[in-house]
């Protein structure tokens, strides 16, 4: 799992490596910046995450330090799927 801002490149890198190694990758993109593109969830970096085999999730949470609720949701869904 990798968590970053909506346009994060490091989350794409983590996703790419994880998928190349045969791991299931959850990529959480949070709303750290004000970015209001109506189709962003279907194109660009999010689409690249899908093409590489990742599981992108867009979360409206803003930037903050510490354990995020988006992290807990991603972990819970992985456990429910048996991962």
CATH number at residue 62: 3.40.50.1100
Total number of domains constituting the chain: 1
Average pLDDT over residues 9-16: 92
Specify the pTM: 0.70
pLDDT on residue 20: 95
Out of 2, 8, 70, 77, the active site residue is 8
Q: What's the pLDDT tens digit per position in 14-54? A: 999 999 999 988 998 888 877 777 777 777 788 889 999 99
* Catalytic (active site) residue 77: no
> CA-to-CA distance for 41 and 58, rounded, in angstroms?
8
Residue 30 per-residue DSSP state: E
Per the structure block, which two tokens stand in for 45? 């970096």
pLDDT on residue 64: 72
Range of the domain at 68: 2-80
Mean pLDDT over all residues of the chain? 84
């Amino acid at each position: 799992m990798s968590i970053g801002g909506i346009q994060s490149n490091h989350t794409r890198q983590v996703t790419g490596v994880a998928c190349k190694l045969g791991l299931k990758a959850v990529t959480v993109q949070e709303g750290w910046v004000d970015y209001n593109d109506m189709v962003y969830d279907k194109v660009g970096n999010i689409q690249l995450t899908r093409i590489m085999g990742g599981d992108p999730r867009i979360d409206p949470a803003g930037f903050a330090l510490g354990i995020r609720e988006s992290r807990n949701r991603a972990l819970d869904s992985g456990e429910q799927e048996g991962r």
